[in-house]
Structure 1
Amino acid sequence: MSDISLVKALVFDVFGTVVDWRTSLIADFTKWSEKRGIKADWTALVDGWRAVYAASMDEVRKHPERGYVILDRLHRQSLEKLVAQFSIRGLNDDDLAYLTTGWHRLKPWPDSVSGLTRLKTKYIISPLSNGNVALLTNMAKHAGLPWDLILSAELFEHYKPDPETYLGSARLLCLSPEQVMMVAAHNHDLKAARKLGLKTAFVARPTEYGPLQKYDFEATGDWDVIAKDFNGIAERMGC
């Protein structure tokens, strides 16, 4: 069994791990569009938006000379292309801003707040997300997420899985990598963290992508903690 006795902080992937982005966005946009009288296939737009998420961050990596671009801006750029692609008409700039900040208004999974609250009694807890600081702060207020601080890719000007994000979080907390545990519903995120010496915890979110889910139904690595939800992680961590 892995030694997790040194862990002092848990850092969390957010989209899909802490919050249910897909259901939240589809419900938000459906309700909003009814009031605005705008018709669109919001499920297709949300799925299409998430599908270009990784590629939009890769563009930032490929062109360091352009400088770091925060996720809100990447989301807006992707949205504008998708709106044209899906021929969604009648949207003004305020509407595009509302849709973009939908990522600030995501709802947590049912166990997220209770599990985080338990973990907070013994450990430092923080997001370690590709979301920018404003996005993560607004989301925490909206969803009642009890973070101790906000750690974001924006602080390191590197998106996960770049090493700078994981090692930067430990550095800012004045901890060694093995004193930090990365929590995620995505095996690739944990693989990148473990390679750098962080401890790892996996929780499955098998409905994250709805019917489009293709992987991450279960742990595919020998992670330090594997639990069915955040309360299960809290139990394993002695909270």
Structure 2
Amino acid sequence: MKAFCFDVFGTVVDWRAGIAREAADFFSEYDLTGIDPYEFADSWRNLYQPAMEACRSGKRPFTRLDILHRENLGIVLGNYGVNTAGLSPDALERLNSAWHRLDPWPDVVGGLTRLKQHSIIAPASNGNIALMVNMAKRAHIPWDAILGAEVTQAYKPSPPAYTRMVEILGLSPKEVCMVAAHNNDLHAARLCGLSTAFVPRKTEHGTNQITDLEPSENWDIVARDFNHLADLVVKN
């Protein structure tokens, strides 16, 4: 394995806590009482896959995630009875850009820094380039390259999201390891011939999470966290 490519939302960063934090500030600014920030984060995230599916299915051209997030933000605020016409466009853009300011899990930067000494490391995210760069700069995530949907022009789990990434790196599929906390992401990558590594994030969806607590298949690597992943890879 010469390159490790990482799912980002959930695997590298705690999107739920980050969105809830910034949503709480937004609600306070506009005196929007009675909306639970974590429930709001979940509701916004629930529109993520349907928005990308429209691009995957060809119903609309490929559209970068910042735009999809902004469209979904209007929908979710409307679902909570919030009239966005009365809100500052700058405030709405600031909330939408919260996805650029998510915090990594505590083991991420140290584990990636060690892994980087051995292998190429890059995001394999549905996030667009500006989002990934801004997130990395703020959180000191030491990527070698920025890969993902805007580069491959495909949203996971569509096969081109994986195969084009491998082509860009100039490697064979088995030399590229997809790292994710989501079994379905790894399953799609394996179907494209990539190696796979599962790192669970058992509180991605909160303390009552019931999905992706354990590996669902015999992945090539199963690690407790990124430090453990680095231990397994660098040792070999």
Q: TM-score range by the shorter chain?
A: over 0.9
Between Structure 1 and Structure 2, how many residues are aligned? 232
The aligned counterpart of 1:88 is: 82
The aligned counterpart of 1:69 is: 63
Scaled by the length of structure 1, the TM-score of the pair is 0.92
Give 3-state SS (helix, strand or coil) of 2:22's partner. helix
Give 3-state SS (helix, strand or coil) of 1:128's partner. strand
1:201-221 per-residue CA deviation (whole Å, 9 max, x = no partner) reads 001100000145231001111
The aligned counterpart of 1:131 is: 127
Give 3-state SS (helix, strand or coil) of 1:165's partner. helix
Preserved contact between residue 123 and residue 148 of structure 2 (Cα < 8 Å): yes
1:205 and 2:201 equivalent? yes
CA distance in 1, matches of 2:28, 2:163: 45
1:181-234 per-residue CA deviation (whole Å, 9 max, x = no partner) reads 000000000011111111110011000001452310011110011011001110
Scaled by the length of structure 2, the TM-score of the pair is 0.94
1:78 and 2:57 equivalent? no
The aligned counterpart of 1:54 is: 49
AA aligned opposite 1:174: G
The aligned counterpart of 1:163 is: 159
Structure 2 unpaired stretches of 5+? none
AA aligned opposite 2:7: D
1:58-105 per-residue CA deviation (whole Å, 9 max, x = no partner) reads 1112235x3211111111111101111102354221111111110000
Preserved contact between residue 20 and residue 38 of structure 2 (Cα < 8 Å): yes
AA aligned opposite 1:47: D
CA distance in 2, matches of 1:163, 1:195: 8
Moved more, 27-36 or 107-116: 27-36
CA distance in 2, matches of 1:148, 1:61: 27
The aligned counterpart of 1:189 is: 185
1:10 and 2:1 equivalent? no
CA distance in 1, matches of 2:210, 2:97: 27
**Identical-residue share of aligned pairs (%):** 47
CA distance in 2, matches of 1:81, 1:162: 25
Cα RMSD of the aligned pairs, angstroms, is: 1.4
AA aligned opposite 1:28: E
Give 3-state SS (helix, strand or coil) of 1:97's partner. helix
1:112-158 per-residue CA deviation (whole Å, 9 max, x = no partner) reads 00000010001000000000111111110111100001002111211
Preserved contact between residue 112 and residue 142 of structure 2 (Cα < 8 Å): yes
Give 3-state SS (helix, strand or coil) of 1:237's partner. helix
CA distance in 2, matches of 1:61, 1:219: 26
CA distance in 1, matches of 2:179, 2:209: 19
Matches within 5 A, 1:87-126: 87-89=81-83, 90-126=86-122
Give 3-state SS (helix, strand or coil) of 2:234's partner. coil
Preserved contact between residue 26 and residue 95 of structure 2 (Cα < 8 Å): no
Moved more, 123-132 or 26-35: 26-35
Moved more, 204-213 or 149-158: 204-213
The aligned counterpart of 1:43 is: 38
